[in-house]
A and B are shown apart, each in its own frame.
Chain A
């Protein structure tokens, strides 16, 4: 059985609102980043993959198993929702144990795996405290531990870094990268830095459609050689915005540092610079219309 997810022509709508439109994706082993703004359809896609939502049409196979076979899929996938918590009066170990039972683990397996996973997410010392006493970052780490409790082939993580401080965020990404060594990890985020640092493969999704699918390098190549930066006055900013794709701005007193895209050097003070994922992402987001590739 190949560790791979194949999505063909997937559509899903809530009433009149179409959340996913003819999505085609192929996802292999390693970290896969799903990038898009809030409401783009990321959560919907992830829920469909983890059988928490039924699709309207299309085909999905997770490691060769069709998504209709929910119980089979649930055996091999782990899911961490965007918003979650656990029974607040349970101790960390108890909560893991409870979820372990629901995943069908035997007592021996639970005894072996839970301490190991708590160690891995650095919660060993907190095993005896109640869930309600955990900080946001600890809760996220516990979330990851519960999602890989049954050693799934696929781990689906929805916006895992939301609400974490920068240091925790870095640690969390590293943790995910480790986990992704021998399985598929799908990570959704609206924060470009998350995928830039960790994902080999990414997809950009907007309004239910896949705008881009490829490696980080391929994403960068969309804007390679066309990124310029300049420090301009506020007055000039409007002109630049109307003529170019502005990808970022930082205000410095009366002046503004802008990054923008241009095919040739636009004016003398503009400096050519290396493209970043954020530039490419902003470029995709602003260039409404047909997807570049699928």
Chain B
């Protein structure tokens, strides 16, 4: 029964308008972001620049300290502290005491008094281009990294969530373009450790995640509301099929149908890598599959489970609202970690480069935990949905029964 139902659900999904809108969005988005993907070729010595080859992977503590302190001095001097709690700029106003405390911290870090700052900034930009360079400040002799972090912790505390002064953000803030040696090292990581295709599969996941974090909810909500709209609920309730089979087959069909076009698209970057014919590359032909299953699948599962759960519970479009909010927040918070490596618990992890394998390697445990968490969450929501469905089949939790209909003109949202 399960397999037959699953097949029938797939056919139903394939006949729905929303599904084809989903596919169209996916293809359009892929085309606009990855349509003319160019596969990175090995760096040549004496190239004009190495912008395409990422950033230095081994950032020293000194780099972090100088950039971090510079950014703090800058904010203090202009009295303009920006935080990004969920991606939107939030300007934080400090009171006199807090300002004084920041001034003291700057003095501890650099030895500069508030009155000296203007001269130091001016001096720095006499020798550096103001458009392209971040302001860096000379640190006090003998300042240890631990002490520095302690001061920065205090600053982060004063400014509140989303400030640039946590260790993670301080590190992410330092992006030093590579020179030839660095470019070669980064490229070697890509071709040897990542099998070339791995890097591009990851980039694919990064982009597609942005829309797979929301689109499936539309198809799902439409499917779930269909029973009610076509007044088919009771015909199904009264049949012998167990609730787990009805909902389980539906869920599985939705997941598979959503993954299918994404999986097809994910082959394209791999084909591009093969066709690029770069010498000395240890190609990983199945990287796309690994990343589809490991990165995108848990996300799609989670989004669809939110869709079935909210819709079955309320029989409204609530799922769209909930998922849009979640997606929005995920996307905005993820915006500060675009270069990959720090995936956290974000539904939509970012790794907006085919490079930075080192960062990936560092964050893979966290990423795995993250993905497993969402897969489990999806299963829990599915179980709850089955439970709700079972209750409704026995006449509980129903809002649109005959009893209520006589009294209310409508009860939909």
Direct contact between the two chains A and B in their complex (CB within 8 A): yes
Across-interface contacts of B4 in A (CB, < 8 A): 101, 107
Q: Are A52 and B394 in contact (CB under 8 A)?
A: yes
Across-interface contacts of A89 in B (CB, < 8 A): 15
Which one of A14, A47, A82, A84 lies within 8 Å of B232 (CB-CB)?
A: A84
Q: Are B5 and A101 in contact (CB under 8 A)?
A: yes
At the interface, yes or no: B325 with Cβ under 8 Å from chain A?
A: no
Across-interface contacts of B231 in A (CB, < 8 A): 83-85
- Please measure, in the bound complex, the distance between the C-alpha atom of A53 and the C-alpha atom of B403, giving whole angstroms: 12
- Please measure, in the bound complex, the distance between the C-alpha atom of A53 and the C-alpha atom of B402, giving whole angstroms: 12
With known contacts A74-B240, A101-B8, A146–B235 Cβ distance under 8 A: yes
The digit string for A148-187, where 1 denotes a CB below 8 A from any CB of B, is 0010000000000000000000000000000000000000
Q: Are A85 and B240 in contact (CB under 8 A)?
A: no
Across-interface contacts of B115 in A (CB, < 8 A): none
- Please measure, in the bound complex, the distance between the C-alpha atom of A101 and the C-alpha atom of B1, giving whole angstroms: 6
In whole Å, how far is A235's beta carbon from the nearest beta carbon of chain B?
37
In whole Å, how far is B273's beta carbon from the nearest beta carbon of chain A?
41
- Please measure, in the bound complex, the distance between the C-alpha atom of A50 and the C-alpha atom of B1, giving whole angstroms: 21
Would you list which residues of chain A between 48 and 106 have a CB under 8 Å from chain B? 50-54, 70-71, 74-75, 77-79, 81-89, 97-99, 101-104
Q: Are B1 and A104 in contact (CB under 8 A)?
A: yes
At the interface, yes or no: A247 with Cβ under 8 Å from chain B?
A: no
Q: Are A98 and B239 in contact (CB under 8 A)?
A: no
At the interface, yes or no: B95 with Cβ under 8 Å from chain A?
A: no
Q: Are B393 and A52 in contact (CB under 8 A)?
A: yes
Across-interface contacts of B12 in A (CB, < 8 A): 87
- Please measure, in the bound complex, the distance between the C-alpha atom of A79 and the C-alpha atom of B237, giving whole angstroms: 10
At the interface, yes or no: A43 with Cβ under 8 Å from chain B?
A: yes
- Please measure, in the bound complex, the distance between the C-alpha atom of A282 and the C-alpha atom of B73, giving whole angstroms: 92
Count how many chain B residues have C-beta atoms less than 8 Å from C-beta atoms of the other chain: 27
Q: Are A99 and B235 in contact (CB under 8 A)?
A: yes
Closest to A83 in B: B231
Q: Are B395 and A54 in contact (CB under 8 A)?
A: yes
Q: Are A102 and B394 in contact (CB under 8 A)?
A: no
Closest to B405 in A: A83
Across-interface contacts of B99 in A (CB, < 8 A): none
At the interface, yes or no: B230 with Cβ under 8 Å from chain A?
A: yes
With known contacts A74-B239, A82-B402, A87–B230 Cβ distance under 8 A: yes
In whole Å, how far is A202's beta carbon from the nearest beta carbon of chain B?
22
The digit string for B383-397, where 1 denotes a CB below 8 A from any CB of A, is 000000000011110
In whole Å, how far is B98's beta carbon from the nearest beta carbon of chain A?
56
Across-interface contacts of B240 in A (CB, < 8 A): 71, 74-75, 102-104, 150
With known contacts A51-B394, A53-B394, A85-B231, A74–B1 Cβ distance under 8 A: no
Across-interface contacts of A86 in B (CB, < 8 A): 230, 232, 235
Q: Are A99 and B239 in contact (CB under 8 A)?
A: yes
- Please measure, in the bound complex, the distance between the C-alpha atom of A81 and the C-alpha atom of B5, giving whole angstroms: 23
Q: Are B234 and A84 in contact (CB under 8 A)?
A: yes
Which one of A52, A54, A84, A98 lies within 8 Å of B8 (CB-CB)?
A: A98
Across-interface contacts of A43 in B (CB, < 8 A): 402
Most buried by A among B5, B15, B230, B235: B235
- Please measure, in the bound complex, the distance between the C-alpha atom of A107 and the C-alpha atom of B235, giving whole angstroms: 20
Closest to B239 in A: A102
At the interface, yes or no: B413 with Cβ under 8 Å from chain A?
A: no
The digit string for B199-226, where 1 denotes a CB below 8 A from any CB of A, is 0000000000000000000000000001
- Please measure, in the bound complex, the distance between the C-alpha atom of A86 and the C-alpha atom of B402, giving whole angstroms: 18
Across-interface contacts of B394 in A (CB, < 8 A): 51-54, 70
Q: Are B226 and A87 in contact (CB under 8 A)?
A: yes
Across-interface contacts of A84 in B (CB, < 8 A): 231-232, 234-235
- Please measure, in the bound complex, the distance between the C-alpha atom of A170 and the C-alpha atom of B15, giving whole angstroms: 38
Across-interface contacts of B234 in A (CB, < 8 A): 52, 79, 81, 84
Which one of A39, A47, A75, A107 lies within 8 Å of B395 (CB-CB)?
A: A47
Which A residues are within 8 Å of any B CB, using their own CB?
A: 14, 17, 39, 43, 47, 50-54, 70-71, 74-75, 77-79, 81-89, 97-99, 101-104, 107, 146, 150
- Using A81-B235, A104-B241 as known contacts, list a sample of 13 further A-B pairs with CB atoms less than 8 Å apart, ordered by residue number in A: A17-B403, A43-B402, A52-B237, A53-B394, A54-B394, A79-B234, A79-B235, A87-B12, A87-B232, A98-B8, A99-B236, A101-B5, A102-B246
5 CB contacts below 8 A, A to B, read A74-B238, A78-B238, A81-B238, A86-B232, A104-B240
